[in-house]
Amino acid sequence: MNTRNKLKILNDPIYGFITIPNPLIFDLIEHKYFQRLRRISQMGMSYLVYPGAHHTRFHHALGCMHLMQKAIQVLCFKGVEISEEEKQALLIAILLHDIGHGPFSHAMEHSIVNSVHHEEISLLLMEQLNKEFNGSLTLAIEIFKGNYPRKFMYQLISGQIDMDRADYLKRDSFYTGVAEGNINSERIITMLSVVDDELVIEEKGIYSVEKFLVARRLMYWQVYLHKTSLVAEQLLIRVLKRAKELTLQGTKLQASAALSFFIENEISIEDFNYEVLDQFAKLDDYDIVSAMKEWMNEADFVLSNLCKMIINRDLLKIKIKNKKIATKKLQNETQSLMKQYNISKAEASYFVFSGEISNQAYKTTSQNINILMKTGKIQDVVKASDQLNLKALSKPVTKYYICYPKDKL
Which whole-number Å values give the CA distances from 36 to 14, 103, 140, 286, in the listed order?
A: 22, 10, 21, 11
Q: What per-residue confidence (pLDDT) applies to 345?
A: 95
Q: How confident is the model at residue 408 (pLDDT cuts 50, 70, 90)?
A: low
Alpha-carbon distance of 214 to 400, in angstroms, equals: 22
Q: What per-residue confidence (pLDDT) applies to 365?
A: 64
Q: What is the DSSP string of 196-232?
A: TTEEEEEGGGHHHHHHHHHHHHHHIIIIIT-HHHHHH
Residue 12 sits at φ, ψ, to 5 deg, of -115, 135
Q: What per-residue confidence (pLDDT) applies to 333?
A: 94
Q: What per-residue confidence (pLDDT) applies to 337?
A: 94
Q: Which residue has the higher pLDDT, 113 or 122?
A: 122
For 35-65, letters b (16+ CB in 10 Å) and e give ebbeebbbbbbbbbbbeebebbbbbbbbbbb
Q: What per-residue confidence (pLDDT) applies to 2?
A: 57
Residue 105 has pLDDT above 90, yes or no: no
Residue 114 has pLDDT above 90, yes or no: no
Q: What per-residue confidence (pLDDT) applies to 238?
A: 95
Q: What per-residue confidence (pLDDT) applies to 3?
A: 58
Q: What per-residue confidence (pLDDT) applies to 402?
A: 95
Which whole-number Å values give the CA distances from 271 to 70, 114, 229, 265, in the listed order?
A: 39, 10, 31, 10
Rounded percentage of the chain residues whose pLDDT exceeds 70: 97
Chain centroid, CA 38 distance in Å: 14
Q: What per-residue confidence (pLDDT) applies to 396?
A: 83
Alpha-carbon distance of 142 to 17, in angstroms, equals: 29
Residues 270-320: pLDDT tens digits? Answer: 999 999 999 999 999 999 999 999 999 999 999 999 999 999 999 999 999
Residue 350 has pLDDT above 80, yes or no: yes
Residue 264 has pLDDT above 60, yes or no: yes
Which whole-number Å values give the CA distances from 42 to 58, 92, 167, in the listed order?
A: 8, 19, 12
Q: Which residue has the higher pLDDT, 388 or 288?
A: 288
Residue 106 has pLDDT above 80, yes or no: no
Q: What per-residue confidence (pLDDT) applies to 89?
A: 98
Residues 187-198: pLDDT tens digits? Answer: 999 999 999 999
Domains of the chain: 9-226 (1.10.3210.10), 228-358 (1.20.1250.30)
Residue 376 has pLDDT above 60, yes or no: yes
Which whole-number Å values give the CA distances from 122 to 37, 144, 178, 359, in the listed order?
A: 12, 10, 29, 25
**Mean pLDDT over residues 256-262, rounded?**
95
**Mean pLDDT over residues 81-108, rounded?**
93
Residues 147-173: pLDDT tens digits? Answer: 999 999 999 999 989 999 999 999 999
Residue 323 has pLDDT above 60, yes or no: yes
CA angle 250, 254, 260 (to 5 degrees): 70
Residue 366 has pLDDT above 70, yes or no: no
Taking all residues of the chain, what is their mean pLDDT, rounded to a whole number?
93
Residue 4 has pLDDT above 80, yes or no: no
Lowest mean pLDDT among 68-72, 219-223, 359-363: 359-363
Quote the DSSP letter at residue 325: P
